[in-house]
Amino acid sequence: MIIEALATNAVILLGVVLILWVISVRIDDVSFIDAFWGAGMALMAFVSWLQLAERGPLATLLMGMTVAWGLRLGIYLLRRWRHEGEDKRYKLILKKDREKGNFAFAALVKVWLMQAVLLFMVSSPAQYGILEAGGTEPISGLALVGLGVYLIGIFFEWVGDWQLSRFKADPANEGKVLDTGLWRYTRHPNYFGDFMAWWGIWIAAASAGWWVAAATVIGPLFLSFTLTKWSGVALLEKGMDKSKGDKYADYKRRTSAFIPMPPKG
């Protein structure tokens, strides 16, 4: 049952990804894939929940947690893409392929299919947890611990993104570094929020059985790696070092890179 349901999820994900790939080729821009990162995970959780014969408390909680996280992030990033246009990261990744007239194939393989695999893996705690919990698993103390961790993450992510949006919307802040609100305690409250939200989902999913925790821990582990070492903090700060110079260097000196801490000095 679980294997079949996960296979159904994979087929649905592939179908949606292929449709979005066609759109990206038509508009010559893959950047809106960032919005699908969250929305796609929400879709995987919702489809998992729909496949249950009975939908119990834990399964519904996991679905609700994932959908709330994913839809909010998807809408936020879609609006940002529509306002800011093509993302420089994807422009750089596909630059040579554009020049060679190989944009369509490269966009499919390098961007859409690769991210589909990663999306499926990172969202595995929600998918597997929902399917394993089914219609009988109650909300246990461990699930509530996971919910608590998740809510801390949601607070940091939602408030951090809101504060950043307001900061960018004010022309007077051009060239400045946001160092107030949550950004006073961590240079990346939104990434820290993602980190906490998905570890919270994993903990809640683990209450359905230790095998769920063992089978899906790769999801939050990989997300933690990518947020801190790959495409999150590390990549963003390279750009900030170049664009903000000494101002950002001073901010880095005073402010924790990831885990919220009191500022220095």
Q: What is the mean pLDDT of the chain?
A: 94
> Which DSSP string corresponds to 12-33?
HHHHHHHHHHHHHHHHT--TTH
> What is the average pLDDT across 45-58?
96
> What is the average pLDDT across 180-190?
96
DSSP state of 52: -
What angle is formed at CA 48 by the lines to CA 145 and CA 232, rounded to 5 degrees? 60
% of residues, the chain, pLDDT over 90: 82
Burial class (CB in 10 A: 0-12, 13-18, 19+), 100: exposed
Cα torsion 183, 180, 236, 33: sign: positive
Tokens 């408390």, residue?
57
Burial class (CB in 10 A: 0-12, 13-18, 19+), 17: buried
Helical pair 57-84 and 141-169, crossing angle rounded to 10 deg = 10
Query: pLDDT confidence of 244, banded at 50, 70, 90?
Result: confident
Cα separation, 87 vs 95, in Å, equals 12
> What is the average pLDDT across 221-226?
95
Q: What is the pLDDT of residues 110-156, one digit of tens each?
A: 999 999 999 999 999 999 999 999 988 999 999 999 999 999 999 99
pLDDT of 88 > 90? The answer is no
pLDDT of 100 > 80? The answer is yes
Q: What is the pLDDT of residues 250-262, one digit of tens each?
A: 999 999 999 999 9
If one compares 92 and 57, the residue with the highest pLDDT of the two is 57
Query: pLDDT confidence of 1, banded at 50, 70, 90?
Result: confident
